[in-house]
Amino acid sequence: MIRLGIIGCGRISDLHAQAYLDHPEATIVAVADPDAGNLAMRGAAWGVPESARYQDHRDLLARPDVDAVEILVPHHLHVPITLDAMAAGKHVSLQKPMALSIDDALMMVKAGHEHGVTFKVFENFVFYPPVVRAKELVENGEIGDVLSIRIKSNAGWSPTAWEVPAAASAWRIDPEKCGGGPLVFDDGHHKFAIAWHFLGLADRVHAFIGSWMGVLDSPSVVSWRHPGGQVGSLEVVYSPELQLHTVQYAQDDRVEITGTKGVIWVTRGHGRMLDAPPVVLYRDGETRGFSDMPTGWETSFHRSGQHFVDALINGTAPSLTGEQGAEVLAFALAAQESSRTGTAVSPQADDLGAGETRHG
């Protein structure tokens, strides 16, 4: 049985907790959050007794019966809380982006190895069933060799979206706490992870990051090239009057992967804009749709969380490893730097050694 502590009981924690509550070999034994309201609400919902709810994460880490922690806090707190957890001998699953700089990311990777703990960077999008199916199709050679990846992310509004507390939006529009903007850096991290998942780390990144009312980093476009010559792009647009179908964030994504003999589309992400199968394959003059998979965005969290438990039980490497997480971070940071400087930037992650296990 893997005994988990959850540090940070905010908006996203519900989706994480469900993975552990549903895993037959996992249990949530303690929670921590300085916000007394979130602590009480989530602690009660997950069946954690009041005596195991802490406002200081160090009290949770002092418990010998916590094997692993899930860290779900604003980005500027990722590094200190992760280092505390590793020093306490806990395995760590840390939400993306793992840090705000590569140096900090590598410090955590090193600490994880020194303390002999498993370190997972939590990236749910590579567990999203339509993305998983697209990867299988690519690996089966359905579109030949991949030549390009194009990702489009629309943000808008939705009457059915879940409520996002003001506090959860406030730290995201503070670059000191978030590390970049809410759309291209925070959420964009997932899109860089998707591109990385299919093609590895880019070697040149160029970005134009716009500004909507000085609050959102939209409209924006990021383009890149991979060492093998493949190219990719991410376009992010916030449309204030665009109504979206969703039960989580008011957002939707699409991915288009082009190969030497075919094209694959992943037609949805957070929400649902297109009335189309979640995965579509075009090759040999024919279009095939694939609908035999769950498409709820929450499934990606469920699978990523359960994968962490399985990795701990089996002693296998998690996805993403710390080294892999640092590669994706380098990708995301390169876009920020490119937009700032107006030049193409080479992501600095040469010595991470993540490449060998990237597609494992």
Binding site for ligand NAD (CB under 6 A): 7-13, 32-35, 38, 57, 72-75, 77, 95, 124, 165, 167-168, 186, 190
What is the nearest approach in angstroms of ligand NAD to the Cβ of residue 81?
A: 6
* Residue 298, token pair as written in the block: 């929450």
Give 94's Cβ-side CA count (13 Å radius): 35
Amino acid at 139: E
- Give the largest CA-CA distance in the chain: 63
- Residue 243 — φ and ψ, nearest 5°? -85, 130
Nearer to ligand NAD, 178 or 199 (CB): 178
Nearer to ligand NAD, 50 or 275 (CB): 50
Find out whether 279 and 269 touch, Cβ atoms under 8 Å.
no
What is the nearest approach in angstroms of ligand NAD to the Cβ of residue 40?
A: 11
- Residue 101 — φ and ψ, nearest 5°? -150, 155
- Please state, in angstroms and rounded to a whole number, the distance separating the CA atoms of residues 292 and 295: 9
Which residue has tokens 């418990």? 63
* Residue 213, token pair as written in the block: 């009312």
What is the nearest approach in angstroms of ligand NAD to the Cβ of residue 11?
A: 3
Name the closest residue to ligand NAD (Cβ).
10
- Please state, in angstroms and rounded to a whole number, the distance separating the CA atoms of residues 206 and 227: 15
Find out whether 237 and 244 touch, Cβ atoms under 8 Å.
no
What is the nearest approach in angstroms of ligand NAD to the Cβ of residue 17?
A: 11
Nearer to ligand NAD, 167 or 274 (CB): 167
What is the nearest approach in angstroms of ligand NAD to the Cβ of residue 318?
A: 15
Nearer to ligand NAD, 143 or 151 (CB): 151
Nearer to ligand NAD, 179 or 278 (CB): 179
What is the nearest approach in angstroms of ligand NAD to the Cβ of residue 347?
A: 20
Exposed, middle or buried, 232 (CB in 10 Å: 0-12/13-18/19+)?
A: buried
Nearer to ligand NAD, 127 or 290 (CB): 127
- Residue 134 — φ and ψ, nearest 5°? -60, -40
The SS3 of residue 142 is coil
Cα angle 152, 198, 358; round to 5: 135
Q: How far is CA 164 from the centre of its chain?
A: 18
Nearer to ligand NAD, 176 or 241 (CB): 176
What is the nearest approach in angstroms of ligand NAD to the Cβ of residue 313?
A: 23
Nearer to ligand NAD, 1 or 62 (CB): 62
What is the nearest approach in angstroms of ligand NAD to the Cβ of residue 266?
A: 16
- Please state, in angstroms and rounded to a whole number, the distance separating the CA atoms of residues 233 and 144: 20
